[in-house]
Amino acid sequence: MPELYDRPPLWAFPAATQITEVLEWRTDILSAQAGEQRIALRPRPREIITLQHRCDALGMARAAELARAGFAADWRVPLWHMALQPTADLAQGATEILFDTTVSDLRAAEFAAIAIDGREAVLVEIASVAADRIFLEEPLGTQLPAPSVAAARIAVAPVRQGALAAAIEITRRRQSDSMVTATFLLRDASDLTAPVLPSYLGRPVQTNPSLVRSPLSASFRRAVEYVDNGFGPVVVEPLRDVFERGEAITLKAQGASARWAQRRWLWSLRGRQSSFWLPTWGRELQLRAAMTSGSTLMRVAPVAALAGYVGRPILLEMPGALRFRTITSAVADGIDHRLTISSSLGEPVPLGTKVHFLTLVRSDADRMEIRHAAVASEVTLPVVEVAG
């Protein structure tokens, strides 16, 4: 048994393939007739992770006794959803581990967990962190079961302190086969920087390819009041000038780099605080004629009233890159509509180019749940249209 009074014990059980990570911010939304004000009440999120471990009879007994001895204490928790595989074999006596440290939350003067062949983890103390390796305070020794261990057998995960946030649950399938579930509230959340995304008019554009492949569910609403005196017709009175488009988007990330970029982007939203552009991916504007490289006129099939086009940002899927423009005017042109965009694209726009509306949105939830599987992570996020 670890000594609970000396330092926080390590929750050393190897994680199963499914890990749930929850990020919780807190934002006050003050709504007005023409917009809203968002006030951040929590600058960094609360991080809650739920780990599931498949254990034999001995592991199940150890989990129960660990919880009995130190349920209210702090724990050292390996973050298996950020685990990395070294790029070189490890040998006893080594003082460094080589891998890309920029895609995981490894910190100097903290700890990392090493698991070999999916077995229970052991701690190593980090002296410093470079972009391509971590340096250890002490040479590797008993942490390795042999003088040399192949990199493919090793997983290295950052370790954070946390407290148990819920009861430990043990589901026994058979006497020697059980599932142990533990939920931890982590301490000392990171302050991550936003990833580099395409931007338009000073705000990032979310163009993750998984958005195109995932089902999009949308709702359209406006804040109104229904006045009914019980004797005459029902009168609808608008309460706000803002039309709200709500959507639920699902983002998927595969691989350590993509997972880390997804986490940084979710951090940058800070719950309901920040707004970003979201393409509808609906191909609303269907070209009736190709455009020359210097043209700002776009002839499209009618889809809205002429006044409804003006001021709408759009995305064009050009062969080389995604391009963003704003519609500045619209007139009827026979059975079609002729739109003027803010500037030419500098290259021909062929017939059949996909053109979508861009919508300025923010997250409609301060709680975000990321589901980490063995090879990919997935998060479903409700968003709502905003004016700014």
Name the phi and psi angles at 217, rounded to 5.
-110, 125
Q: Residue 14 has what DSSP assignment?
A: P
The span from the CA of 299 to the CA of 349, in Å, is 11
E strand or H helix that includes residue 309: helix 306-309
How much is the pLDDT for 339? 97
Instruction: Return the ∠ at Cα 330 (arms to 385 and 287), rounded to 5°.
Output: 85
The span from the CA of 84 to the CA of 3, in Å, is 28
Residue pair 371/384 in contact by the 8 Å Cβ criterion? no
Residue pair 21/370 in contact by the 8 Å Cβ criterion? yes
How much is the pLDDT for 58? 86
How much is the pLDDT for 112? 96
Residue 375 burial (10 A CB sphere; 0-12, 13-18, 19+) = exposed
Q: Is 289 left (phi over 0), alpha (psi -120 to 50) or beta?
A: beta
Residue type, 122: V
Q: Residue 293 has what DSSP assignment?
A: T
Cα 2 from chain centroid? 35
Query: pTM (2 decimals)?
Result: 0.87
**DSSP alpha helix (H) spans, 201-273:** 210-213, 256-269
Q: Which two tokens stand for residue 270?
A: 């800070």
Instruction: Return the ∠ at Cα 242 (arms to 198 and 336), rounded to 5°.
Output: 70
Considering only CA atoms, which of 59, 371, 44, 60 is closest in space to residue 186? Answer: 44
Considering only CA atoms, which of 122, 155, 158 is closest in space to residue 12? Answer: 122
The span from the CA of 1 to the CA of 297, in Å, is 74
How much is the pLDDT for 230? 81
- Characterize the bridge pairing of strands 96-98 and 154-164: unpaired
The span from the CA of 45 to the CA of 185, in Å, is 11
How much is the pLDDT for 5? 42
Cα–Cα distances (Å) from 177 to 12, 104, 172, 174, in that order, read 18, 32, 6, 5
The span from the CA of 378 to the CA of 264, in Å, is 14
Q: 């929750």: which residue's tokens?
A: 11
How much is the pLDDT for 261? 94
The span from the CA of 111 to the CA of 159, in Å, is 6
- Characterize the bridge pairing of strands 90-91 and 313-317: unpaired
Residue pair 336/349 in contact by the 8 Å Cβ criterion? no
Torsion of CA 267, 271, 275, 280, to 10 degrees: 90
Instruction: Return the ∠ at Cα 229 (arms to 223 and 234), rounded to 5°.
Output: 50
The span from the CA of 278 to the CA of 341, in Å, is 19
Considering only CA atoms, which of 245, 333, 327 is closest in space to residue 285? Answer: 327
Cα 379 from chain centroid? 6
Residue pair 172/161 in contact by the 8 Å Cβ criterion? no
* pLDDT beneath 70, residues of the chain: 1-6, 212-216
